[in-house]
Amino acid sequence: MKRLILLLSLLSIVTPAPAQAMSDQQLVGHLKQIYLSWRGAMVRKDSATWKRLTSHTRQVNVRNRLWSERKKFPESVFSAPVSPPSIAQLSAQRVRVKGNTAKAIYFGKVDFGVGGKPTDNVFVISYVKEASSWKYHGGEFVNLGALPEVRKQLRAGDLKFFDSQDFHPNGIVEPAPLAIRGPVKYIAKTYVFCPGREVKLLVNKTSSHLFQNTKRSDVVIGGAVDGLNEMQYSIKDIPGGDPKAPITLRVYLMSQVPGTQPIKAAEYQIEDGSKPKSSGTLRFTVTPEMTIKLKGR
């Protein structure tokens, strides 16, 4: 079964408590309260509480992303086009803990406040423990629209869908990335079209990206810099994919001047059925002439 998962950059709040002293039942309630507190702070735009209680790694990741788009932090944390879903009316299916990580799985009408009539889907909340406190670390929305049989099974109480390792915490608390120091000078984005392939990118030895059988653009963490920049790439076939399918890798520089189109700074493209290189490096230079187009001066 192919799961359709939308990774959400949701950030959090936590109520400090010594989790190791809790019973299983108390921990389940405590983790639920963490999410409810987070959601309340997001609705209130309570940046002080958010900054104080969000997991450190998530906080750095989000700040890096916002500054890489030259957005304000923490104000832009609260400007997402969707609302965090309430779990008050959802049914808790599984709560699993491994080491300093935990996942809570909910099923029901997940509502992001974008209108329409929500249907039964899955919402997975991830937590990490820092010192003695559990903190909210992220959320995954699992759209069951393409999996009607799974939706039917879950409604009937058959929870075997949640036996997949995707629904288990791995026990590993990911380290925080290198924090950038402030808004970048030049906004850069990668673009990849890779049907039937997996592509990994590393831009300026800082911003890593993974693409699998998709067409997508990503913000480059740290942006582009004056002078020489580089993007390392690796490409491999996905079993069952078409090895002759076209593939495109690009880097765009986004202008901060209204009405000015992005600059295509680098490109690697195969269209004629040839086999792409398994790895390589694309280099591009930000020149003074580009600076005028990108920043208007």
Q: Write out pLDDT tens, residues 20-35.
A: 457 888 999 999 999 9
- Residue 105 vs residue 83, higher pLDDT: 105
Average pLDDT over residues 227-251: 95
User: Which candidate, 219, 141, 212, 211, places its Cα nearest to that of 180?
Assistant: 219
Q: Which residues sit opposite 202 in a β-bridge?
A: 208, 232
The yes-or-no verdict on residue 18 having pLDDT over 50 is no
As a whole number of angstroms, the distance between CA 135 and CA 124 comes to 14
Instruction: Give residue 103's pLDDT band: very low, low, confident or very high (50, 70, 90).
Output: very high
- Residue 126 vs residue 8, higher pLDDT: 126
User: Which candidate, 83, 80, 81, places its Cα nearest to that of 39?
Assistant: 83
In contact, 27 and 133? CB cutoff 8 Å: no
The yes-or-no verdict on residue 263 having pLDDT over 70 is yes
Residue ranges in the chain assigned as alpha helix (H): 24-44, 47-53, 56-68, 148-155, 288-295
pTM here is: 0.85
The yes-or-no verdict on residue 260 having pLDDT over 60 is yes
Q: Which two tokens stand for residue 28?
A: 């389940």
> Apex CA 40: angle with CA 38 and CA 45, to 5°?
95
The yes-or-no verdict on residue 5 having pLDDT over 80 is no
Q: Is 48 exposed, middle or buried (0-12, 13-18, 19+ CB in 10 A)?
A: exposed
What local confidence, expressed as pLDDT, does residue 21 receive? 57
- Residue 214 vs residue 15, higher pLDDT: 214
As a whole number of angstroms, the distance between CA 297 and CA 290 comes to 10
Rounded to the nearest angstrom, the gap between the alpha carbon of residue 124 and the centroid of all alpha carbons in its chain is: 14
What local confidence, expressed as pLDDT, does residue 205 receive? 96
What local confidence, expressed as pLDDT, does residue 55 receive? 95
Q: Which residues sit opposite 127 in a β-bridge?
A: 102, 136
Q: Write out pLDDT tens, residues 176-228.
A: 999 999 999 999 999 999 999 999 999 999 999 999 999 999 999 999 999 99
The yes-or-no verdict on residue 153 having pLDDT over 80 is yes
Mean pLDDT of the chain, nearest integer: 90
As a whole number of angstroms, the distance between CA 232 and CA 213 comes to 19
Average pLDDT over residues 90-112: 96
What local confidence, expressed as pLDDT, does residue 115 receive? 85
